[in-house]
Amino acid sequence: MGMATAAMGMAVPEARRKTFFTGTPEIYFAKAIDNSRLVKVECPGRNREMRQFGTALSFLFLLVFTYAWQHFRAIEYGYQVESAKRELSNLTEMNRALRLDDATLRDPERIDLLARRMGLVPPEPGQVIRMDSASADASGPVMASVEPGAEVMGQ
C-alpha cells in the first residue's frame, strides 16, 4: 500500500498538492457612479440614420401588411366564388325540377283526365265566346255576367 501512495504522490505535481491559499484574496468594493452631470451630445448623422431606418421599416411593414391583406382577401373571394357556384348549381337543379313539374302539370291530357274525373264535360257549341273575336264585333268593353241557371261546381 505504501508503494501505491508513493507512486500517486509522484504523479501529481508539487503545485497541485498544496491545499491552502497563499495569494491575496480578491475583494470587490461597490462604488456608486453618478451620471447626472453627463450631457448627451446630439449627433445629427445618427438622428438622420434613425429616421431613415424608421421610414424604411415603416415602408416594409406597409408592404408586408398590404401583401397579407391582398392574400387573405383573395382567399376569401375564392370561398365566395365557390359558394356562389354551389348556389348556382343548386338553383339550376331546382329550376330544372320546377320546369319539369310545370310541364307535367300543364299537360293537356292530364288536365282532360282530371276534368273528366271531376265530372266536367266539353263545352256545348255557343258556350265558348272568344274574346278576340268578340272585341272585333262590339266596339265597347265586354263585361262578364252570370246567367241565373248556371251552377258552379265545388261549392
Among 22-26, 46-50, 78-82, where is mean pLDDT lowest?
A: 22-26
**Contact criterion met (CB below 8 Å) for 49 and 42:** no
Is residue 1 predicted with pLDDT exceeding 70? Answer: no
- pLDDT band of residue 155 (cuts 50, 70, 90) is very low
CA distance linking residue 56 with residue 68, whole number of Å: 18
Which residues 6+ apart lie within 8 Å of 118 measured at CB? 153
Q: Which residue has the higher pLDDT, 10 or 116?
A: 116
Q: Which residue has the higher pLDDT, 26 or 63?
A: 63
Residues 133-145: what's their mean pLDDT?
Answer: 61
Share the mean pLDDT of the chain. Answer: 82
pLDDT of residue 134: 46
Cell of 150: 248556371
- Decide if pLDDT at 66 tops 90: yes
pLDDT value of residue 10: 55
Q: Once rounded to an integer, what is the mean pLDDT over residues 12-38?
A: 73
| Model-wide pTM > 0.75 | no
